[in-house]
Homo-oligomer: A and B are copies of this chain.
Amino acid sequence: MSRERHRKRRSAQQARVHALPPGLSGGQYRPLSDDDVQRIHEAALIVLERTGVRIVESECRHILEQAGARVDRAHDRVYIPRQMVEAALKTANRDVVLYSRDGRFDLHLRGTRVHLGTGGAAIKILDLETGYVREPTLRDVYDIGRLVDTLDNIHFYLRAVVARDVGKEDIDVNTFYACLSSTGKHVMGGCYFPEKVAEIKKMAVIIAGSEEAFLARPFLSFNLCWMVSPLRFAPETTETLTAAVRAGIPVSLVSAPQSGATSPASLVGTLVQVIAEELSGLTYVQLLRPGHPTLLGGMPLVSDLRTGNMVGGCAELALMNAASAQMTQFYGLPVYSSSALTDSKLPDVQAGFEKGLTTAAVALAGAQYNHHSAGMLESMLTVAYEQYVIDDDINAQAMRLVKGLEVNDATLSLDVIHEVCMGEGHYLAHPQTLALMESEYIYPHTADRATRQDWEAAGALDMRERARRRARAILAEHYPTLIPEETDAALRAEFNILLPREAMQPAGRMVSRP
């Protein structure tokens, strides 16, 4: 068969393999040696014993004291002996699953299995129509969720923006509602007040049909910034954490120190502190409920020491988050890490390289739950619709790196090479080529691979503009029905749901009915 005919045949097949399955195993990149890992672990234990954590008088402090921690009441310091930490590591859950509702996107956070998802919550968004920055609304939480639902290389939906049009009283429940009605993937979000935990659980139970059904496959979880670095428990969030654990809702223990500001300027020192912080949180959670599904949410950030500004898109951050993944793998526990942050204010070449470089490193390190991997701009302050589409293509490439190379008799291809070299001298027509077309390669949906001529003929658009168009097309079409009408009515009867039902269907559909 001629090359031209082959090309046409393949083109006609329209290979559309844009995604690899979530949970491929990384770990081919190891920023730390085994000895380094051990030394950081030992140092973190010393910090907890010698420096301790600051916890004010509270139920939490009482529980830790009862379990053997020494409390210095004058300075609110709690010293945690290594035996307590080691006991917590023994009972910790090493098989955490964050469930999706449809089962297609369950996240098994074991070993070095890599998952990439959104992060937040940003307080600004680039408007998809105007391109200008504005405050996000509840509608944005819903619309971003609809994008996430269709983009296969975004494996979970951590609520991306703060709905600035909703008051504190209603925001937790409404944010979870907007997420759960826009995507079937696992949803993670925050919880501003301890008393809201029960409300959110009630919502989940209504959707699941029963408490048993929800607790068997919890499809939502909390990321709780219970730690104020360096080494201080936040009193109210610790209460929320306590309520969440008792309610059986999976939690990520978020601690996000910024090197040179709230943790040492030494990157290794920051790792020591963040591991100490995480181990203090884990110890507490295990005392509350042994085996509770918990993510180690140590998420080291970086300061630009010239200005003190937080920096997201840099190698130092990638190094620490990759090392953080390696540390939690040492414990056999899931990490809640960060990559794909950028300090650029818009989806330009800077946003691209900062995302590509940090995601490659953190994914290759085998981060099990890597958030911020879609949508983010301006350190952590802004998201953009088109950026989710772009990041889906980036994540596909990162997952292809993670999938790696498999060396075996078939892939070594000795006979293929021999046949081709002794024959027509070209591999395009060889059966291996066609057979591997959809398994060995991944194809982007928005990144351009055309010739310059074809690209110019198509309007000479940059990737941002192509992504913007794709985002508009998805948002015009994709209105999933994830919550049946009856359940939705029950939710609206129970809670002050602010997203109108009419907003959850294509514009004009109501009008077009007779």
Task: Identify the A interface with B (CB < 8 A).
Answer: 3, 6-7, 10-11, 13-15, 28-33, 35-36, 39-40, 43, 46-47, 50-52, 54, 124, 133, 230-232, 259-269, 271-273, 276, 302-309, 311, 313-316, 318-320, 323, 343-361, 364, 378, 381-382, 390, 393-394, 397-398, 400-401, 404-407, 410-414, 416-418, 420-422, 425-428, 430, 432-433, 435-437, 440-443, 447-452, 455, 460, 462-464, 467
Which residues of chain B come closer than 8 Å to A265, judged between CB atoms?
427, 430, 432-433, 435-437, 440
B349 near A441 (CB under 8 angstroms)?
no
Of the candidates B30, B425, B447, which one forms a contact with A344 in the assembled complex, judged by CB atoms under 8 Å apart? B447
Q: Give the CA-CA distance A417 to B265 in the complex, in Å.
A: 10
Identify which of A10, A305, A440 gathers the most chain B CB atoms within 10 Å of its CB. Answer: A305
Of the candidates B6, B304, B412, which one forms a contact with A268 in the assembled complex, judged by CB atoms under 8 Å apart? B412
Please give the distance in Å from A389's CB to the nearest CB on chain B: 11
B313 near A447 (CB under 8 angstroms)?
yes
Q: Give the CA-CA distance A346 to B318 in the complex, in Å.
A: 26
Which residues of chain B come closer than 8 Å to A455, judged between CB atoms?
345
B31 near A31 (CB under 8 angstroms)?
no
Q: Give the CA-CA distance A43 to B464 in the complex, in Å.
A: 44
Which residues of chain B come closer than 8 Å to A364, judged between CB atoms?
29, 361, 364
Please give the distance in Å from A10's CB to the nearest CB on chain B: 5
Q: Give the CA-CA distance A314 to B444 in the complex, in Å.
A: 9
Which residues of chain B come closer than 8 Å to A33, judged between CB atoms?
407
Q: Write 24 A-B pairs (CB below 8 A) sorted by A numbering.
A: A11-B306, A14-B306, A32-B405, A36-B407, A51-B417, A230-B421, A231-B421, A265-B435, A266-B432, A269-B413, A303-B428, A304-B443, A304-B449, A305-B437, A306-B443, A314-B400, A316-B442, A319-B404, A323-B405, A344-B462, A353-B356, A355-B356, A357-B359, A378-B452
Which residues of chain B come closer than 8 Å to A447, judged between CB atoms?
313, 343-344, 350, 354
Identify which of A14, A313, A314 gathers the most chain B CB atoms within 10 Å of its CB. Answer: A314
Which residues of chain B come closer than 8 Å to A343, judged between CB atoms?
447-449
When C-beta atoms are compared, the residue in chain B nearest to A436 turns out to be B265
Q: Give the CA-CA distance A443 to B311 in the complex, in Å.
A: 11
Q: Give the CA-CA distance A35 to B406 in the complex, in Å.
A: 11
A349 near B230 (CB under 8 angstroms)?
no
Report if A40-B356 is in contact (Cβ < 8 Å); known contacts: A11-B307, A462-B350: no
Q: Give the CA-CA distance A381 to B455 in the complex, in Å.
A: 14
Report if A433-B315 is in contact (Cβ < 8 Å); known contacts: A272-B417, A350-B352, A394-B357: no
Q: Give the CA-CA distance A348 to B355 in the complex, in Å.
A: 13
Of the candidates B32, B133, B264, B276, which one forms a contact with A407 in the assembled complex, judged by CB atoms under 8 Å apart? B32
B405 near A436 (CB under 8 angstroms)?
no
When C-beta atoms are compared, the residue in chain B nearest to A52 turns out to be B421
